Chains A and B, each alone.
Chain A
Amino acid sequence: MRIKTPREKRILYFKTTLRWILYYLLILLSFIIMTSGTWMKPILLVPAAMCIAVSNGQLASAFTGAFCGMLIDIACGRLFGYNAVILAFFCALVSLMFELYLRPRFFNYLWITAAVAFAQCWLDYKFYYQIWDLADIQVIFRTVTMKVWLYTMISAFLIYPLYRLIDRLLLPKIHMTLEEAIRTN
């Protein structure tokens, strides 16, 4: 990796701080939207966490995933930490997948988000409804779980450009030496 000058380091530090501030502002905005009104709403924090995991390291992604999960727990009245565990795990996994196997493209983000959102919704249905073996519980799966998943997927289309914009403006470009580039390829 090329050695950075002190000025470059300062700019990098500033941009990184600003990027994370914007990430978290968007997360809080998503939380506020999720807790407003009485209509059924998408779990906006899942695509948001995935967006961050696509372009950041595993640790940062896991922490963000945990934070988003906690907010989901508050918004959805779930056991505090339940969704945090799920999202921290998935965020770290997604971050790893994008680092090793996948390119940060919209299609990859979309199917990954679809899978994670479905897993989150399905686990929610299993642990919060089906496990109690209530009568007509499949109605919940049809009318709530699947609907929420669908809404979440639609919201993913809107959330992705916002995070991409932040990344495009503030994510540091990776500069490799010629030797590193040759080794990588």
Chain B
Amino acid sequence: MSLGEPARQVRLWPRFIVFALIIALVVATLGLRLFTLQVVSGGYYAGLARENRIRLQPVRAPRGLIFDRTGRQLVDNVATFAVKARPADMPLSQRPAVIERLATLLDISAADITEALDRAAANRFDLANVARGVPEEIALIIREEHLELPGVEVIVEPQREYPYGGLVAHILGFTGAVTPDDLARVGSLGYLHDDTIGKQGVEATFEEVLRGDYGVEQIEVDARGEAIRLLRTLQPAEPGNSLELSIDVDIQRDAETALRWAMDRIGLEQGVIMAMNPQTGEVLAMVSLPSYDNNLFARGISTADYQALLDAPGAPLRNHAIVDHVPPGSTYKLVAGAGGLQDGILTDRTILQTRAYLSIGSTKYWDWNRQGFGPLNIYDGFGRSSDTFFFQIAGELGIDRLAHWGSQFGFGQRTGIDLPGEVPGILPTNDWKMSLMNEPIYPGEVYQAGIGQGYNSFPPIQVLNAFAALANGGRLLKPQIVRRILGPNGEVVDEIEPQLIRQLPFDADVLRTMRRAARRVVTIRQTYNLVDLPIVVAGKTGTAEFGVRDAKGRLPYHSWFAGFVPKDPWKKDSDPNGVEAVSRTDSELAVLAFAYDSRTTGNAATEIVKYFLQLHYDLDVDLRQDWILERDNFYGQ
């Protein structure tokens, strides 16, 4: 203490010392902390700072295209505007205002936007999809208002456009925004939270092929995550490969025209028509009506539109060719016939007596014409589709042997077609019924099974595939939608070979007999004037009852026709009945039509196939007959 200080201060000097010590303490503490952060942990924080501004950014690969077998492009990648949001960049206080403004601009509900943001809540730094396919003027407004819309980004991204729309919608399917479920399934494959993924059709089954490999680049970003510059590309994006389908758009269109004509004429809710090359298993046409516009999904379908599609009659979103269980009806007589011949229950010379009905106990099992056809061999039994004829064969075979032959033809198993959602069907056996209902199959049910009724139910693709195997002489092939994988420059990367499911264990003459019997179906005019076409057609009709009896005790029914056309289909004078033609195994066209709940005077499916063949072979004749398509719950074959 110096003498110069006021006496008052001298008294207070300990307090000044304490205060000075506090200053020293504060400064020392701050200095020590500074030392710890900067000198001791400086390297660690320098690393954090680098990571802060260097971000790895995925580079999307252009998705592969899809072509039909003639090279027509079935899908386009078009640049569209997508509105996305990074929840982490959207302050909570501004969130309601941002959501409300977006809802107004995009004309979608605030609830949908909130849901989209919340879905991404676990990954607040990732972009979440708000809307895709946004009109340019709206996108520009959102960009201009970016100061009022923090965390919202407008991004140009490719979107699928399907120029053929509903014509091939069930085959192509569509892409859509990944869902949390998708991510859980494929997350390890580098999918982004705002990614798109194939949802249906070949877009889904060939997702890995089409998607390509995303690249990675290192960018420098500022605190808002906005890219300042590209530092380097760690891994370039590899474009996806393209698909060449076995589908021929011309055949597809002919098939759709034929089916649509009959459906409109009758007033049907749903129907299926398919064409396949029996030599390769390639599906040439697959039409399930009603269809839908897959562009709606590619653009991001609204909840209302989606609900409308779910509620629409005929279930347009379902590919009835592969996802429905339906009774095959008399088309299934192929199994009983071929199985009976192979097991020696009958030969092609055996005559069976057909009657009005067969009795088991007090129950009568009627033939469809209610009077029987008298004595018939296999050709006429199949040709007339006599029920009592096949009751007898089925009875001899028994349910398990019948099921054995059914499963040889591929019934009750997924064909493995390269489309999602295929069902296996139901092929009844004793074991199956025991496990399900704890009782064996009754003899009457064996009869039912022999004519494709009762428990038997399969997706239409199995019926077509069985007839394709009949047509090619016994090779059961996997139906294929995609025949080639093409590289980005159109080079063939992979040729998808026909895949044999099994060689059917039938003698060649058994199958030849059944092909001739199928020709007999046509020549004895069971299919009316189909025989008058200038080409040779063989096949089998079916009338499959289902559902609940009406007031007159009648059941509604579906119509089937499954058959094939020999390679050189034109009728020859040397072979007036086409028997030689169908004896061959060179058919390149198997065809199936299925009219759901048809209830027509005649077999509607036959008419559909007839019209399709007229269109496909560009025939000069038009043998369509309107009376066949009258609604008249007749009791069919």
- Do A and B come together as binding partners? no
Binding site for A on B (CB under 8 A): none
